[in-house]
A and B are shown apart, each in its own frame.
Chain A
Amino acid sequence: MVDPIAGSDGKRKCDSVADAINRLLHNLIIKCARGEGVRNFYEVCVIGYGAHVAPAFSGPLAGRDLVPLSEVANSPARVEERHKKVDDGAGGLISQKVRFPVWFEPVAKGITPMGQALSYAHQLLSGWVPKHVKSFPPIVINITDGEATDSGPVPQAEAVRGLTTEDGNALLFNCHISSQPVAPIVFPDTDSSLPDDFARTLFQVSSPLPATMRDLARSENLTLGADARGFAFNADLVELIRFLDIGTRSSNLR
């Protein structure tokens, strides 16, 4: 898992995966932040799968599985400082120092026990859904660079998607980071442009986007088919967080 990702100069694929996870958590926290706190609209677990399949938070949350979002927000393993270009309000861009919290460290382990990881997710969520029947169903986001090296992912993916709350079935979204120099594909509605069998398999086990997410994505000018799936190829799914519906957001919020 140390081949450079297509199009990213020298950046290891495992770094891209780790960055994607940290940014996903970051975006989710910002989305739910209000005033000086974070509303616990979500509990989150990060499952790493390589030599081991286990909860993979680093730092103070190490070893924890489902953690309330406010606790995730307050307990990164470390906080890096990066720079970001932002609108200065007068038509220009300025470089702003931003804090980049890290909860998950890159790990390259050579094997990909995806089936086992999805089984673990299923086990965790089987305990969660009966206690949260009125909630929005769980969302499992699987980020991988390669094919499963165990019996996964199909039967285990189907088991995860079979879990339900009163609102509907659990969602499984997949993000495949590959070495192939293929342009990014996000939320496709067919597998016809995907370059290999494994990408097509992951597409097939990805849940269709719920109508609310599709509508939100379209209102931000993404072109989506009615059967668009939660799948990305050579792209991460960090932007997906924008389309989770927690209430009113202004159309001039970004």
Chain B
Amino acid sequence: MEPEVQVFYVPKFGNSEEEYEDAAAYQAPTRRFAVADGATESSFADAWARSLVRQYTVQPPLTPPNGTPLHEWVIPLQREWHASIKWDKLPWFAEEKARSGAFAAFLGLHFVGGTAAVVRPSFFGRLLRRKPSAGTLRWHALAVGDSCLFHVRADRLLKAFPLDSSKSFNDRPLLISSNPARNQSVWRAVQLAQGDCRSGDWFLLATDALSKWFLSQYEAGGKPWQTLRELRSSADFTASVDKLRAEGSLKNDDTTLLMINWTGVQTAEVPQKISIP
């Protein structure tokens, strides 16, 4: 039960590919998706953003079997980031800057199917087992900062998360840091959301520039998802982004979009009747 997935990105105009600091990752079979946006003013933020999204697709926080909370989930990633830097080879300014840590906005989304119920064996040792009832697919999302998720159903925006207004974007969001000393105020600010997913639903994950554009269009009465759903290739996306930047409606920034399309996928099953002999 896998959706169709597309990922598009364009670096900030004036920057090279190497300077691109957003990241996106997904695992369609396990239905895990993430985007992250490394902060321009921090160092080695691209590596930090990539490690966050990659690990989310391996094992998201707050999920079984351990239900690891986010502040513990990042610890091995912080160690890995720290170890990846050649500290003794860095010039004085690079070392000092890197000691502050890398910062990133982070948005993760995953989908879970129905539940299974197992009944204890009866007194006579007969095991009664109820077949898993698939029920409706459910989605769970986690966000720190201003990368956003948009859930679209039947040509309507059902949910915008964690920000739902174009006025909410500013230059100083709370971001996850690779430096443990810089996260105290972050853990209180983690946003969580969930909902159901039906056949035909679209989920769009975007970093801040595109998210702000999306909400501005929506607030003006438009349906920005229609524009994005028509994209067929990276070249299409780049051309659209170039045009929007030129007309001033999209901020010049790294721009990343991950689209999940559940059209044509059956997301719910009718529970089967069990007969007990």
Contact = CB atoms under 8 A, between A and B. Distances in A.
B181 A88 contact: yes
Contacts of B41: 31, 246-250, 253
Contacts of A250: 39, 41-42, 103, 145, 172-175, 177
Interface residues on B, range: 35 or more
Interface residues of A, number: 30
B91 A36 contact: yes
B20 interface: no
A99 B177 contact: no
A181 interface: no
B21 to A, nearest CB: 9
B43 A248 contact: no
A86 to B, nearest CB: 8
B93 A252 contact: no
Interface in A221-254: 245-254
A252 to B, nearest CB: 5
B177 A252 contact: yes
B129 interface: no
A73 B91 contact: yes
Contact of B97 (A33, A88, A89, A246): A33
Interface string B238-255: 000000000000000100
A119 B137 CA distance: 71
Most buried by B among A35, A89, A246, A252: A252
Nearest to A88: B181
Nearest to A245: B171
A74 B94 CA distance: 11
A219 interface: yes
A246 B40 contact: yes
A62 interface: no
Nearest 3 Cβ contacts at the A-B interface: A247-B40, A89-B181, A250-B175
Interface of B: 19, 37, 39-45, 90-94, 96-97, 100, 103, 145, 170-175, 177, 179-186, 208, 253
17 contacts: A31-B41, A33-B94, A33-B96, A33-B97, A34-B19, A34-B97, A89-B180, A98-B96, A101-B92, A251-B173, A251-B185, A252-B103, A252-B182, A252-B184, A252-B185, A253-B42, A253-B175
Given A248-B39, A253-B42, A253-B175, 20 more contacts: A33-B43, A34-B19, A34-B43, A34-B45, A34-B97, A35-B43, A36-B90, A37-B94, A89-B179, A245-B171, A246-B41, A247-B40, A247-B41, A247-B253, A248-B40, A250-B174, A252-B177, A252-B186, A253-B41, A253-B182
